[in-house]
């Protein structure tokens, strides 16, 4: 029992150290100052416990203390990047492979990031095709500790009528991120701001119009994009009536990971002819015939398949 309690205590101490290094790395990444008080508050520990933590981090060569300010050392940064890499790889896996809702993955990855080893992370990375970013658009550090950076601008600072692409959705605070997800905003979405006031930000992707409060829009980050076409959006496979046929135009960009690979393996590639054969008793899944085979797709899978029912409606989609 005493041995078990010691292991629990040691694990908690290690988690606290790694969380502190993650926070210090984030401050450096964002160019904000970190003090002993701010880090302690962020970690939710008492001033006395925080003081012991700083002494431990300093003794291990992970941070340097100058007055009231903390600075992460190269050794501390290396450890922080390992934790960040594990966290973001787990987030990518949970969304793309385990189909966990985006709003839930951060907390789950927080728990998993501390139980890691380099070999396991390399296997996880390779199994997903070495993704460059996590589901929120954050860059995933490489195994060598290289972390790329993309200059982006918050939606609140974007010019009206300037085409943009969403490249990052900040997942903290959790309550604000939940509002972004609920609004249907997604990574890679091409948009244009049509109204920006201190009370609301209104933008469109030429299919839907979105309205966000500035405090929420500030957690959506953009880069410049090519002008959006005004052609009618391609219909989804879910709109195909029983007995009707269509041509697959591709899979939308929000579908990644195992599910995307599985649909491609089933023959749902650009140009494939697909027919809705019959619907199950409960309405879901639906059986489709594609490339001579009968396959069953759930509605949440079929909605990612873009189709055209007329040759002159074909467009290029990835």
DSSP 268-306: --TT-EEEEEEE-TTS-SEEEEETTEEEEE-HHHHTTEE
pTM (global) more than 0.85: no
pLDDT digits (tens, 9 = 90+) for 72-88: 999 999 999 999 999 99
Same fold, 2-72 and 237-313: no
Distance, CA of 43 to CA of 27 (rounded, Å): 13
Q: Is 301 left (phi over 0), alpha (psi -120 to 50) or beta?
A: alpha
Give the other-Cβ count within 10 Å of 243's Cβ.
9
The edge-to-edge listing of strands for the beta sheet with 245-251 is 293-297, 286-290, 273-279, 245-251, 305-308
Q: Which CATH number is 153-224 given?
A: 2.30.30.90
Name the residue with higher pLDDT: 86 or 317: 86
**Closest of 214, 216, 219, 222 to residue 152, by C-alpha:** 222
Q: Which CATH number is 2-72 given?
A: 1.10.10.10
* Domain-wise residue ranges, the chain: 2-72, 153-224, 237-313
Q: What is the pLDDT of residue 4?
A: 76
277-285: average pLDDT = 87
Q: What's the CATH class of domain 237-313?
A: mainly beta
Distance, CA of 181 to CA of 169 (rounded, Å): 9
How is 17-35 classified by DSSP, letter by letter? HHHHHHHHHHHHHHT---B
Distance, CA of 305 to CA of 270 (rounded, Å): 10
Q: Which value, in Å, is the radius of gyration of the alpha carbons in the chain?
A: 23
Residue 282 has pLDDT above 90, yes or no: no
Name the residue with higher pLDDT: 207 or 243: 243
Give the other-Cβ count within 10 Å of 203's Cβ.
25
């Amino acid at each position: 029992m005493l041995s078990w309690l010691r292991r629990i205590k040691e694990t908690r101490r290690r988690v606290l150290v790694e969380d502190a290094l993650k926070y210090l790395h984030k401050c450096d990444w964002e160019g904000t100052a970190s003090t002993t008080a701010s880090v302690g508050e962020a970690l939710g520990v008492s001033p006395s416990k925080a003081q012991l933590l700083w002494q431990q981090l300093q003794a291990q060569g992970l941070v340097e203390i100058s007055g009231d300010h903390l600075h992460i050392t190269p050794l501390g940064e290396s450890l922080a990047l390992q934790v960040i890499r594990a966290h973001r790889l787990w987030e990518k896996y949970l969304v793309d492979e385990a189909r966990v809702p985006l709003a839930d993955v951060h907390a789950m990855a927080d728990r998993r990031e501390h139980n890691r080893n380099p070999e396991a992370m390399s296997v996880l990375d390779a199994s997903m095709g070495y993704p460059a970013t996590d589901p929120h658009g954050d860059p995933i550090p490489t195994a060598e500790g290289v972390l790329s950076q993309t200059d982006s601008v918050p939606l609140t600072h974007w010019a009206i009528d300037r085409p943009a692409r969403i490249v990052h959705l900040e997942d903290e605070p959790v309550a604000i991120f939940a509002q972004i997800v609920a609004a249907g905003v997604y990574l890679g979405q091409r948009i244009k701001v049509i109204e920006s006031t201190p009370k609301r930000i209104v933008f469109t992707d030429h299919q839907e119009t979105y309205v966000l409060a500035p405090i929420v829009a500030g957690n959506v980050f953009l880069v410049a994009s090519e002008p959006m076409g005004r052609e009618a959006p391609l219909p989804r496979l879910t709109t195909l009536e029983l007995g009707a046929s269509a041509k697959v135009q591709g899979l939308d960009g929000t579908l990644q990971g195992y599910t995307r690979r599985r649909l491609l393996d089933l023959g749902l590639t650009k140009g494939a002819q697909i027919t809705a054969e019959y619907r199950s008793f409960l309405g879901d899944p639906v059986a489709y015939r594609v490339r001579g085979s009968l396959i069953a797709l759930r509605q949440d899978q079929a909605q990612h398949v873009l189709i055209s029912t007329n040759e002159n409606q074909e467009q290029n989609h990835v």
